[in-house]
Amino acid sequence: MTRRLPCPPAPGPLEAYAARFDDLFSTLAQRRGFREYLTGLLLPRNRNKTLTCLAGTEPVVGAQHPSVQRLQFFLSESTWDHERVNARRVELLLADPATAPSHGTWAYGKDAYTPVDAAHALTWTDPEHPGDWTAVGRTFP
């Protein structure tokens, strides 16, 4: 088996994230395209995220630029599996405590509930017998 060619790194901490997807891409061009795509999505731009914007070229006149053509091929013609990439993205989000869903935040510690769990925990029979619910009255001038 031949050794994989190294990919030019994405800027800053984005490389560590992009590298976690490398095994999902079979070619150097795909790994490079993925890094260029992520970089284009995350960089602040003054216009919508079109292909020319993602590649950092001017609209219309930059459409034939090699970086735009490479990105176009990566997104529309390349053979990578978008479902596997998305599954990995979700897996990474769920594994990171900063982005993983929590049980809820309306109460502290072990008493925290999701909004749905909190609604189920409060007693409610009907409007005449609201239980733990508090009626809110509105007045309009």
Sign (positive or negative) of CA dihedral 57, 63, 66, 67: positive
| Residue pointed to by tokens 């800027």 | 11
Q: Is the pLDDT of residue 57 over 80?
A: yes
More confident residue, 1 or 130: 130
Q: Is the pLDDT of residue 68 over 80?
A: yes
Looking at the chain, the whole-number percentage of residues with pLDDT higher than 90 is: 34
What pLDDT score does 112 carry? 66
Q: Is the pLDDT of residue 17 over 90?
A: yes
**Contact residues for 3 (Cβ-Cβ < 8 A; gap 6+):** none
What pLDDT score does 31 carry? 95
Q: Is the pLDDT of residue 33 over 90?
A: yes
Of the listed ranges 9-18, 26-35, 47-56, 78-87, the least confidently predicted one is 47-56
* Per-residue pLDDT tens digits for 86-123: 999 999 998 988 887 766 555 555 666 677 777 777 77
Looking at the chain, the whole-number percentage of residues with pLDDT higher than 70 is: 86
What pLDDT score does 103 carry? 60
This prediction has a pTM of 0.67
Report the mean per-residue pLDDT for the chain: 83
